Amino acid sequence: AELAAKQSADLILYTGDFAPNGSDERCWATFFVGERALLADVPLYPTLGNHELFRDPSAAHFRRFFALPDDGRDQRYYHFRFGPAEFIVLDGNAPTAAQTAWLSATLDAADRDRVAHVFVLEHQPPLSLGDHCGAALDQAAWMTLFETHHVRAVFAGHDHAYERMERRGVRYFVSGGGGAP
């Protein structure tokens, strides 16, 4: 966190698993104390990971600690624009028809507005060679939308290995942290 703070970042994009146990206040405190140097001056845009839901299925702690844009506290997914980019943050824990419709509408709006760069963040990667093997079956409709709307890249966590790949013009990255020690 201290090294990252020295990079003068404009924002932090986090792909989930802030705490190993979403209901444990001490785990959350450990995260925020450890990231203090970075979070003091840089806004963090979080993605809901599966560990935030562990023993806290409503993600009450996650919702309490983060003020998300675009009704994100209610939906657990949201979007925002930053400079020439649209960032779409999805809840890969629960790919629903409602979330897919919202994603489609959000991508349509970005197309209409001629947004130069569209990036997606989610916790569970659709494509991965890691232990979890990706969530392509659950996210097939999302992947089609990524491809038809020219999403530049999809960033995910969950698997504890760094990966990058490309499929039909969309770049997919797994950050590698995934909550590992």
> What's the predicted TM-score (pTM) here?
0.94
Q: Are 125 and 156 in contact (CB under 8 A)?
A: yes
Instruction: List beta partners, residue 47.
Output: none
- Alpha-carbon distance of 124 to 174, in angstroms, equals 9
pLDDT tens, N- to C-terminus, the chain (181 residues): 888 888 889 999 999 999 999 999 999 999 999 999 889 989 999 999 999 999 999 999 999 999 898 777 788 999 999 999 999 999 999 899 999 999 999 999 999 999 999 999 999 999 988 777 778 889 999 999 999 999 999 999 998 888 999 999 999 999 876 445 5
Token pair, residue 54, equals: 């562990």
